[in-house]
């Protein structure tokens, strides 16, 4: 039997406004080479100037992954030739990454897994080549050149392809949550590579490692790893040896193929970048970054279940949308029963948002208003049907729910004598239904409630209507 | 006296007294270039039109009665490894023969802001790698004192332009002696500032941790004006220092009474031409007569400076020059069938032999398995060399030495012997490795060829070096312009 050891290397584009070593915009999708200056084109004589915000994003990512943050760090040059690499080297970090020795925890099939984070470092992105095969031409776009990246490298702690996928989902959730990257695999802002080896179960040494590149989706990660586990296991089982290789995932043929052998491996000739000075991260800067990190999704979910009594499913749903969770917390903080608030947010409010294509941040009904609406419902001042009916209006207008209910006269009728009048009229107006009821058709009662509600224009409190009708109808029977 | 013989302060005075206009000054120098550059070959590009436009702007400013900066209307030359918008910046390499940058180096910007008139771009050893300008891909610049001899390098074109009266001030860059050594060979003043004092933005990098831009001038006073204009923090260069502790308001003629001068015995050892040593010793006597306290000192790691330099500089260069790959700009080889070939052919054909030699050296020094033995060790020795200077400057204020072991050598004499060529910078490497300032000024002649005296100081002691040089210059009063050999006209 063999077990698998997988380490992941993930590159994330940071969502800073400007590039890591110059002032050019990082916007995605601009006309080719419209966001390129002498620095990110690597023109002779140009020099890099470090973007402080990019460093902060890397620090925040490191902290969110429980890493130690280096008090002093530096940048290094990684030298290799490629047409889309403008300087012939990439400014990266070699032996002093910003973050190291961290971990991430996530659930796989209900079991908590912890995967070590070896390092988090900051570097610059390269340009992009487009090969026009028919015309035998290659085009280069340098808009992406110099966009800040962090590379996150795990320990070889991942044991299956499913775990690898869960790791990536958990990582993406955290990075989106702390707003350092939008983690879009399709747009290339999240790129995954895997190092994979197999070893006899129980062995403490790792097997020969293969690096898998060119994986373009989460599903691709899982498939590529499954393929590779199978390939290596079959190879070893049949007496073969795994060679150290870099392999490319072929998405259309669903297999990995050799890209480089060990002998062809690059010698990157790393050395300290002399154009940048040492980077000192002192405690006050570290604390500033720490203060910008919100409660992370996993902790938040657990707290919702444990302290607020939310179901695990609802907690998952709320936390998945950071802005919605924020809103929810605001509502709960104002004293609204959390479960009630969660129900309303996840069903009714979310439906209104979807219909109007609004983000929660754009809604005019803020936390205080929503909380007021919940008080109206739970106190019985308005019926839940009324609340649902007016929600759409409130979301757009932002008026106080209490004021709106008062102005429109929508308050629920709970005055028994008032309701009695409607009940009597309903009985008088509906002899056939009453007769049905009398012969034992229980559904007739529901119909009568409907008549009363109609007469009261929806304001009568349904429970009271029910009680009064039963009383009146049964009285006649005696 | 002819206009081209005037120094910057004399031109400044002449402009203010309306003895001549800035246009006339520019024209006089452009004419001088026309007359002499067939023989000297100092310039790669002469920007006549831009120069006259800049001069006219100065004249217009003057006619509006505006105050003139001391550099306004002063003709300057710029080493062709500093970027100039719309003007070719070749680094004297086939690789960049037709490269026109879309931006201007901070140092050139600063001179232009001050009203200086840029006459053109000067020849250098390809990518500033060399000590004679013989490594230029275009032509060899000649020494105005003897056209059979080299002007030194790599900033040979700039040194000659100033020495021969083609320009009043010129910019050079100094990585291992490339300002001081040609200044010595051409009998003028050349300053290598403290690393970080002057912006490197727009200077095509050779070895980033060693490169500094500095001025050439025929007088110490002109060099001081130029240096003050060049110095200062540049937000575009992360290694430029924000508040350099240099007090530019100090007078140059402060005198050197009581100045503690160290004479390092390692700089007067074997390999130095006796006549050069003799000239320098005489200069030291002048310092003593002026009231300086002379003492012998030791900089024990001096002999390691050359090997240390020839690991660090090529290592950085191998990376800095990787961007010249024929893909985006510059020279592209014909006939490549794939991108790897495109890059390797372009580099094989675009770079000259010395540049290739250094790229090979540097690539090797950084290779996997050799890094610790070479680059890592060189960095350690570099700090020992720094320490030598720290120790020395706890005892003395400045250090005097020859700038180069010899006077200008004959064209072709060392081209086939790289090591003997490297020796020409023997006295200048350590200063770059330590990041300290130094200047070279003329201290006499041997067989009609100038000898350079090097003054070294601790970081940001530029004013002290200039004051010491000024005291010497004012006492000795050596001629500033050469009497040309080989029929060069003194028009």
B75-79 and B117-122: which strand pairing? parallel
User: Which is higher by pLDDT, B424 or A53?
Assistant: A53
Is the pLDDT at A48 greater than 70? The verdict is yes
A81 CB neighbours in chain B (<8 A) are 322, 325, 340, 343
For residue A179, what are the contacts with CB-CB under 8 A and spacing of at least 6?
A15
A336 token code pair: 């609204």
| A81/B368 Cβ within 8 A | no
| A269/B363 Cβ within 8 A | yes
For residue A436, what are the contacts with CB-CB under 8 A and spacing of at least 6?
A443, A444, A447
Count of helix runs (H) and strand runs (E) in chain B = 15, 11
In chain B, the residue whose alpha carbon lies closest to the alpha carbon of A90 is B319
| B323/A45 Cβ within 8 A | no
Q: Which of B134, B172, B187 is nearest to B407 (CA)?
A: B187
B82 CB neighbours in chain A (<8 A) are 45
- Determine which of B175, B211, B320, B340 to mutate to test the interface with A (most A C-beta atoms within 10 Å): B320
User: Where in B226-265 does DSSP place strands (E)?
Assistant: 260-264
Q: Which CA distances in Å does A420 have to A445, A446, A447, A459, A472? A: 15, 16, 17, 13, 9
Is the pLDDT at B152 greater than 80? The verdict is yes
DSSP string computed for A88-154: SEEEE-SSS-SEEEEEEEEEETTEEEEEEEEEEEEEE---EEEEETTTTEEEEE-SSTT-EEEEEEE
In chain A, the residue whose alpha carbon lies closest to the alpha carbon of B365 is A269
Residues of chain B above pLDDT 90, percent: 92
Helix (H, G, I), strand (E, B) or coil at A249: strand
Q: Does B371 touch chain A (CB under 8 A)?
A: yes
Q: Does B348 touch chain A (CB under 8 A)?
A: no
Is the pLDDT at B461 greater than 50? The verdict is yes
Instruction: Tell me what pLDDT residue B486 has.
Output: 45
Sign of CA dihedral B133, B134, B135, B137: positive
Q: Are B246 and B459 in contact (CB under 8 A)?
A: no
Q: Are A225 and A159 in contact (CB under 8 A)?
A: no
In chain A, the residue whose alpha carbon lies closest to the alpha carbon of B364 is A269
The whole-angstrom separation of Cα A140 and Cα A131 is 9
A79 CB neighbours in chain B (<8 A) are 318-319, 322, 366
The whole-angstrom separation of Cα B222 and Cα A253 is 72
pLDDT bucket at A129, cuts 50 / 70 / 90: very high
Residue among A43, A47, A81 whose CB faces B200 most closely:
A47
pLDDT, tens only, B344-388 = 999 999 999 999 999 999 999 999 989 999 999 999 999 999 999
A41 CB neighbours in chain B (<8 A) are 328
The whole-angstrom separation of Cα B188 and Cα B480 is 7
Q: Which CA distances in Å does A145 have to A16, A153, A200, B318? A: 14, 22, 43, 21
- Residue with token string 């649902």: A388
Structural domain total, chain B: 1
Instruction: Tell me what pLDDT residue B281 has.
Output: 97
Lowest mean pLDDT among A87-101, B266-280, B314-328: B266-280
As a whole number, mean pLDDT of residues B413-427 equals 87
For residue A231, what are the contacts with CB-CB under 8 A and spacing of at least 6?
A256
In chain B, the residue whose alpha carbon lies closest to the alpha carbon of A142 is B328
Cis peptide before B154 (omega within 30 of 0): yes
B64 token code pair: 């509006």
Residue among A45, A267, A274 whose CB faces B367 most closely:
A267
Helix (H, G, I), strand (E, B) or coil at B71: coil
Chain B residues 250-269 with CB within 8 Å of chain A: none
Instruction: Tell me what pLDDT residue A460 has.
Output: 80
- Determine which of B85, B207, B339 to mutate to test the interface with A (most A C-beta atoms within 10 Å): B339
Residue among B105, B238, B340 whose CB faces A277 most closely:
B238
Is the pLDDT at B252 greater than 50? The verdict is yes
Q: Which of B109, B106, B90, B74 is nearest to B217 (CA)?
A: B74
**A251/chain B closest Cα distance in angstroms:** 25
Count of helix runs (H) and strand runs (E) in chain A = 16, 16
CATH class of A416-477: mainly alpha
Is the pLDDT at B484 greater than 80? The verdict is no
| A41/B205 Cβ within 8 A | no
Instruction: Tell me what pLDDT residue B283 has.
Output: 97
**B120/chain A closest Cα distance in angstroms:** 18
Annotated catalytic residue: which of B41, B79, B121, B192?
B79
Residue among B235, B316, B321 whose CB faces A274 most closely:
B316
Q: Are A227 and A254 in contact (CB under 8 A)?
A: yes
Lowest mean pLDDT among A152-161, A259-268, A271-280, A312-321: A259-268
As a whole number, mean pLDDT of residues B324-331 equals 96
Lowest mean pLDDT among A224-238, A328-342, A399-413: A399-413
B321 CB neighbours in chain A (<8 A) are 88
Residue among B323, B366, B368 whose CB faces A44 most closely:
B323
As a whole number, mean pLDDT of residues A109-115 equals 92
Annotated catalytic residue: which of B72, B173, B178, B401?
B178
Annotated catalytic residue: which of B72, B92, B136, B154?
B154
Instruction: Tell me what pLDDT residue B474 has.
Output: 97
A48 CB neighbours in chain B (<8 A) are 238
Stated as kind and residue range, the H or E segment containing B455 is strand B449-457
pLDDT, tens only, B463-482 = 999 999 999 999 998 887 87
The whole-angstrom separation of Cα A11 and Cα A125 is 9
Is the pLDDT at A426 greater than 90? The verdict is no
Write the DSSP symbol of residue B253. Answer: G
The whole-angstrom separation of Cα A84 and Cα A46 is 17
A255 token code pair: 């297999």
Residue among B83, B328, B375 whose CB faces A86 most closely:
B328
| A271/B371 Cβ within 8 A | yes
The whole-angstrom separation of Cα B239 and Cα B237 is 5
B366 CB neighbours in chain A (<8 A) are 79, 269-271
Q: Average pLDDT over chain A, rounded to whole? A: 91
The whole-angstrom separation of Cα B264 and Cα B253 is 26
Q: Does B98 touch chain A (CB under 8 A)?
A: no
B342 CB neighbours in chain A (<8 A) are 83
| A48/B96 Cβ within 8 A | no
| A275/B201 Cβ within 8 A | no
Instruction: Tell me what pLDDT residue B487 has.
Output: 45
Active site residue B178: yes
Q: Which of A59, A13, A48 is nearest to A280 (CA)?
A: A59
Q: Are B233 and B243 in contact (CB under 8 A)?
A: yes
Q: Does B85 touch chain A (CB under 8 A)?
A: no
Q: Are B374 and B364 in contact (CB under 8 A)?
A: yes
Report how far apart the first and last C-alpha atoms of chain B are (Å, whole number): 11
As a whole number, mean pLDDT of residues B261-283 equals 94
**B325/chain A closest Cα distance in angstroms:** 8
**A241/chain B closest Cα distance in angstroms:** 26
Beta bridge pairs of residue A158: A6
pLDDT, tens only, A344-383 = 999 999 998 998 888 888 889 999 999 999 988 888 788 7
pLDDT bucket at B429, cuts 50 / 70 / 90: very high
pLDDT, tens only, B205-248 = 999 999 999 999 999 999 999 999 999 999 999 999 999 999 99
A278 CA to centre of own chain:
34
As a whole number, mean pLDDT of residues A119-125 equals 98
DSSP string computed for A14-26: ---SB-SSSS-B-
Domain residues for the domain of B391 are 1-491
User: Where in A325-465 does DSSP place strands (E)?
Assistant: none
Active site residue B79: yes
The whole-angstrom separation of Cα B189 and Cα B180 is 8
| A88/B209 Cβ within 8 A | no
Helix (H, G, I), strand (E, B) or coil at A278: coil
B7 token code pair: 């120094």
For residue B316, what are the contacts with CB-CB under 8 A and spacing of at least 6?
A271, A274, B205, B206, B207, B208, B209, B210, B362
B236 CB neighbours in chain A (<8 A) are 47, 49
Is the pLDDT at B489 greater than 60? The verdict is no
Estimate the crossing angle of helix B48-63 against helix B22-40, to 10 degrees: 160
Estimate the crossing angle of helix A218-237 against helix A161-177, to 10 degrees: 150
CB pairs under 8 A between A and B: 107
Chain B residues 202-241 with CB within 8 Å of chain A: 202-205, 207-209, 235-239
| B101/A83 Cβ within 8 A | no
As a whole number, mean pLDDT of residues A71-80 equals 98
Is the pLDDT at A291 greater than 70? The verdict is yes
A82 CB neighbours in chain B (<8 A) are 339
Stated as kind and residue range, the H or E segment containing B212 is strand B212-217
Q: Are B402 and B427 in contact (CB under 8 A)?
A: yes
Instruction: Tell me what pLDDT residue A322 has.
Output: 86
Instruction: Tell me what pLDDT residue A144 has.
Output: 96
pLDDT bucket at A99, cuts 50 / 70 / 90: very high
DSSP string computed for B176-196: SSTTHHHHHHHTSEEEEPPTT
Write the DSSP symbol of residue B375. Answer: I
Q: Where in chain A are the domains?
A: 2-285, 294-408, 416-477
CATH number, domain with residue B221: 3.90.1300.10
Backbone angles phi, psi at B33, to 5 degrees: -60, -45
A155-158 long-range contacts, Cβ below 8 Å, gap at least 24? A155/A7, A155/A115, A155/A116, A155/A117, A155/A118, A156/A5, A156/A6, A156/A7, A156/A195, A156/A197, A156/A206, A157/A5, A157/A7, A157/A114, A157/A115, A157/A116, A158/A4, A158/A5, A158/A6, A158/A7, A158/A8, A158/A115
Q: Average pLDDT over chain B, rounded to whole? A: 95
Helix (H, G, I), strand (E, B) or coil at A72: strand
A72-73 and B438-446: which strand pairing? unpaired
As a whole number, mean pLDDT of residues B424-435 equals 95
The whole-angstrom separation of Cα B221 and Cα B218 is 9
Is the pLDDT at B488 greater than 70? The verdict is no
Is the pLDDT at B491 greater than 70? The verdict is no
| A267/B322 Cβ within 8 A | no
Stated as kind and residue range, the H or E segment containing A199 is strand A190-200
Beta bridge pairs of residue B398: B261, B457
Report how far apart the first and last C-alpha atoms of chain A are (Å, whole number): 80
| B202/A46 Cβ within 8 A | yes
Helix (H, G, I), strand (E, B) or coil at B127: helix
| A38/B102 Cβ within 8 A | yes
């Amino acid at each position: 039997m063999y077990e698998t050891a997988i380490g992941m290397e993930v590159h994330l584009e940071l969502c800073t406004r400007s590039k890591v070593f110059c002032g050019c915009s990082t916007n995605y999708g601009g006309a080719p080479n419209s966001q390129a200056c002498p620095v990110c084109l690597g023109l002779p004589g140009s020099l890099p100037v470090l973007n402080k915000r990019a460093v902060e994003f890397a620090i925040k990512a490191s902290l969110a992954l429980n890493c130690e943050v280096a008090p002093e760090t530096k940048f290094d040059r990684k030298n290799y030739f490629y047409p889309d690499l403008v300087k012939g080297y990439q400014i990266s970090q070699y032996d002093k990454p910003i973050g190291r020795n961290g971990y991430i925890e996530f659930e796989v099939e209900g079991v908590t897994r912890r995967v070590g984070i070896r390092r988090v470092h900051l570097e610059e992105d390269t340009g992009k080549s487009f090969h026009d095969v028919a015309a035998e031409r290659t085009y280069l776009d340098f808009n992406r050149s110099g966009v800040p990246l962090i590379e996150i490298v795990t320990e070889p702690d991942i044991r299956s392809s499913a775990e690898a996928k869960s790791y990536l989902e958990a990582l993406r959730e955290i990075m989106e949550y702390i707003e350092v990257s939008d983690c879009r695999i399709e747009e290339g802002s999240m790129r995954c590579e895997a190092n994979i080896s197999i070893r006899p179960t129980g062995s403490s040494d790792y097997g020969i490692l293969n690096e898998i590149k060119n994986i373009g989706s989460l599903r691709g990660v899982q498939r590529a790893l499954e393929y590779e586990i199978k390939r290596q296991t079959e190879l070893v089982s049949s007496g073969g040896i795994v060679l150290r290789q870099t392999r490319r995932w072929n998405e259309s043929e669903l297999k990995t193929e050799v890209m480089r052998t060990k002998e062809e491996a690059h010698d990157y000739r790393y050395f300290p970048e002399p154009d940048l000075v040492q980077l000192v991260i002192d405690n006050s800067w570290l604390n500033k970054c720490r203060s910008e990190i919100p409660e992370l999704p996993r902790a938040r979910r657990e707290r919702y279940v444990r302290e607020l009594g939310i179901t695990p499913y609802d907690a998952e749903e709320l936390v998945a949308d950071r802005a919605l969770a924020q809103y929810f917390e605001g509502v709960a903080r104002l004293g609204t029963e959390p479960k009630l608030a969660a129900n309303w947010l996840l069903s009714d409010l979310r439906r209104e948002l979807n219909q109007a294509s609004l983000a929660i941040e754009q809604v005019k009904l803020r936390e205080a208003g929503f909380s007021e609406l919940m008080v109206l419902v739970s106190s019985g001042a308005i019926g839940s049907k009324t609340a649902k009916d007016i929600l759409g209006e409130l979301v757009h207008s932002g008026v106080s729910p209490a004021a709106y209910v008062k102005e429109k006269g929508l308050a629920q009728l709970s005055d028994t004598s008032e309701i009695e009048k409607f009940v009597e009229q309903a009985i008088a107006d509906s002899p056939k239904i009453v007769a049905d009821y009398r012969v034992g058709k229980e559904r007739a009662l529901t119909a009568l409630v409907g008549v009363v509600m109609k007469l009261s224009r929806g304001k009568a409190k349904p429970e009271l209507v029910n009680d009064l009708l039963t009383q009146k109808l049964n009285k006649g029977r005696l | 006296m002819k206009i081209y013989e005037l120094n910057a302060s004399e031109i400044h005075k002449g402009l203010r007294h309306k003895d001549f206009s800035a246009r006339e000054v520019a024209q006089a120098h452009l004419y001088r270039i026309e007359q002499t550059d067939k023989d000297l070959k100092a310039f790669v590009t002469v920007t006549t039109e831009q120069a006259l436009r800049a001069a006219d702007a100065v004249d217009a400013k003057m006619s509006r009665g505006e105050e003139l900066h001391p550099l306004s209307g002063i003709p300057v030359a710029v080493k062709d490894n500093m970027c100039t918008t719309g003007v070719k910046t070749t680094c004297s390499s086939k690789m960049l023969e037709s490269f026109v940058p879309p931006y201007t180096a901070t140092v050139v910007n600063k001179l232009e802001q001050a009203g200086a008139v840029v006459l053109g771009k000067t020849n250098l050893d390809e990518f500033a790698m060399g000590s004679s300008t013989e490594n230029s891909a275009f032509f060899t610049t000649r020494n105005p004192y003897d056209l059979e001899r080299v002007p030194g390098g790599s900033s040979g074109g700039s040194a000659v332009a100033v020495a021969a009266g083609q320009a009043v001030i010129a910019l050079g860059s100094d990585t291992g002696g490339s300002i001081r050594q040609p200044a010595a060979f051409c009998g003028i003043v050349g300053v290598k500032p403290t690393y970080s004092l002057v912006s490197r933005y727009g200077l095509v990098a050779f070895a980033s941790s060693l490169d500094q831009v500095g001025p050439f001038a025929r007088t110490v006073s002109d060099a001081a004006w130029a240096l003050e204009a060049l110095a200062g923090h540049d937000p575009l260069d992360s290694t430029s220092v924000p508040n350099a502790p240099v007090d530019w308001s100090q007078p140059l003629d402060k005198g050197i009474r009581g100045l503690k001068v160290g004479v390092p015995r390692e700089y007067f050892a074997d390999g130095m031409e006796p006549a050069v040593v003799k000239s320098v010793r005489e200069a030291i006597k002048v310092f003593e007569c002026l009231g300086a306290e002379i003492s012998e000192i030791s900089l024990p790691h001096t002999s390691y400076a050359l090997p240390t330099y020839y690991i660090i500089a090529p290592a950085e260069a191998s990376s800095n020059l990787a961007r010249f790959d024929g893909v985006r700009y510059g020279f592209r080889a014909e006939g490549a069938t794939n991108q790897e070939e495109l890059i390797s052919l372009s580099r094989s054909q675009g770079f000259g032999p010395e540049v290739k030699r250094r790229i090979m050296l540097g690539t090797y020094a950084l290779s996997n398995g050799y890094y610790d033995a070479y680059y890592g060790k060189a960095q350690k020795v570099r700090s020992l060399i720094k320490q030598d200077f720290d120790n020395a400057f706890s005892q003395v204020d400045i250090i005097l030495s020859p700038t180069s072991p010899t006077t200008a050598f004959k064209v072709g004499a060392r081209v086939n012997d790289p090591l003997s060529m490297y020796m020409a910078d023997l006295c200048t490497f350590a200063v770059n490795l330590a990041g300290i300032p130094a200047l070279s000024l003329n201290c006499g002649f041997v067989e009609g060829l100038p000898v350079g005296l090097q003054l070294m100081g601790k970081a940001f002691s530029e004013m002290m070096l200039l004051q010491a040089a000024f005291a010497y210059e004012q006492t000795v009063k050596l001629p500033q312009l050469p009497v040309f050999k080989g029929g060069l006209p003194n028009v």
